[in-house]
């Protein structure tokens, strides 16, 4: 895969990194044009067939200029990435707390609205199960952002992340621990508790001064 990427992009390629728990790729280029997309389309479509996700394509300039717009996304790449080709342009990225707080509030409130709407329309236990199973991977990047705002070293272990978040924000997140451990029986009750948790975290972020 890396050899093919190098062959297609040549000197335009800045770096390739793997990030996240599901081995997603990010490809950073000096520039991206319609021709660039056309030349790489076949390769990226083959990649999609394997993991059902397209690599994230960025220019070096978009990465630098996007730290105030997508700080949470880029923070999580910085926290969990491995360089497969080129120089590590992620390790020295600097983020401002006000930008992270703003996106976090947006994300928590958006997820809250989405969760409430989903709860209203689901018709089967299978759909409820899917919502519950997605909650941890969906919320984990946001929990990392919460710890960043507290200037805490972000653990690699999900258990430690949950414990430190609970301690630093004084909010009960036992529902996430139950989901992690499959320690629940009523999925509707789980979703109701998630709604309450997202609401509380949204309120905390709204009142936070950074």
Confidence of residue 53 (pLDDT cuts 50, 70, 90): confident
Q: Are residues 116 and 51 in the same domain?
A: no
The secondary structure of the chain, three-state, reads CHHHHHHHHHHHEEEEEEECCCCEEEEEECCCCHHHHHHHHHHHHHHHHHHCCCCEEEEHHHHHHCCCCCHHHHHHHHHCEEEEEECCCCCCCCCCHHHHHHHHHHHHHHHHHHHHHHHHHCCCHHHHHHHHHHHHHHHHHHHHHHHHHCCCCCCCCHHHHHHHHHHHHCCCCHHHHHHHCCCCCCHHHHHHHHHHHHHHHHHHHHHCCC
Which pLDDT score, from 0 to 100, does residue 123 have? 84
* Three-state DSSP state, 16: strand
Q: What is the pLDDT of residue 51?
A: 72
Residue 91 lies in a domain: no
Domain-embedded: residue 170:
yes
**Owner of token pair 């996700």:** 53
Residues 24, 125 share a domain: no
Tell whether 66 and 129 lie within a shared domain.
no
Alpha helices, DSSP H, located in 92-157: 97-121, 125-149
Whether residues 137 and 185 share a domain: the answer is: yes
73 and 115 part of one domain: no
* Whether 46 and 106 share a structural domain: no
Coil, helix or strand at residue 81: strand
* 152-198: pLDDT as tens digits: 999 989 999 999 999 999 999 999 999 999 888 899 999 999 999 99
Which structural domain range is residue 61 located in? 2-86
pLDDT at 47: 80
In the block, which residue shows the tokens 């997309």? 37
Tell me the average pLDDT across 124-152: 94
In the chain, how many H helices and how many E strands?
A: 9, 4
What percentage of the chain reaches a pLDDT higher than 70?
Answer: 100
Give pLDDT tens digits for 94-128: 999 999 999 999 999 999 999 999 999 988 889 99
Residue 29 lies in a domain: yes
User: How many separate domains does the chain show?
Assistant: 2
Q: Do both 43 and 140 map to the same domain?
A: no
Shared domain check, 187 and 112: yes
What phi and psi values does residue 28 have, to the nearest 5 degrees?
-105, 125
3-state percent helix, strand, coil for the chain, nearest multiple of 5: 65, 10, 25
The helix/strand/coil state of 163 is: helix
Residues 17 and 106 in one domain: no
- pLDDT grade, residue 6 (50/70/90)? very high
Mean residue pLDDT of the chain comes to 93
Q: 51 or 109: which carries more pLDDT confidence? A: 109
Same domain, 76 and 141: no
> Is residue 26 one of the residues assigned to a domain?
yes
Q: Are residues 72 and 112 in the same domain?
A: no
């Amino acid at each position: 895969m890396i050899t093919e990427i190098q062959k297609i992009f040549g000197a335009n390629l800045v770096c390739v990194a793997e990030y996240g728990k599901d081995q997603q790729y990010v490809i950073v280029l000096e520039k991206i044009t319609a021709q660039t997309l056309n030349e790489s389309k076949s390769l990226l479509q083959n990649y999609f067939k394997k993991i059902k996700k397209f690599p994230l394509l960025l220019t070096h300039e978009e990465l630098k200029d996007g730290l105030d717009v997508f700080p949470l996304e880029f923070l999580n790449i910085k926290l969990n990435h491995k360089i497969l080709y080129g120089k590590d342009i992620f390790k020295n990225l600097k983020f401002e707390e006000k930008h992270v707080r703003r996106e976090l509030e947006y994300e928590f409130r958006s997820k809250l609205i989405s969760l409430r709407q989903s709860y209203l329309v689901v018709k089967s236990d299978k759909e409820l199960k899917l919502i519950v199973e997605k909650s941890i991977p969906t919320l984990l990047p946001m929990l990392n952002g919460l710890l960043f705002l507290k200037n805490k070293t972000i653990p690699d272990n999900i258990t430690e992340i949950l414990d430190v978040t609970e301690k630093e924000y004084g909010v009960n997140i036992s529902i996430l621990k139950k989901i992690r451990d499959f320690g629940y029986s009523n999925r509707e009750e789980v979703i109701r508790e998630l709604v309450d948790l997202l609401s509380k975290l949204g309120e905390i972020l709204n009142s936070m001064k950074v």
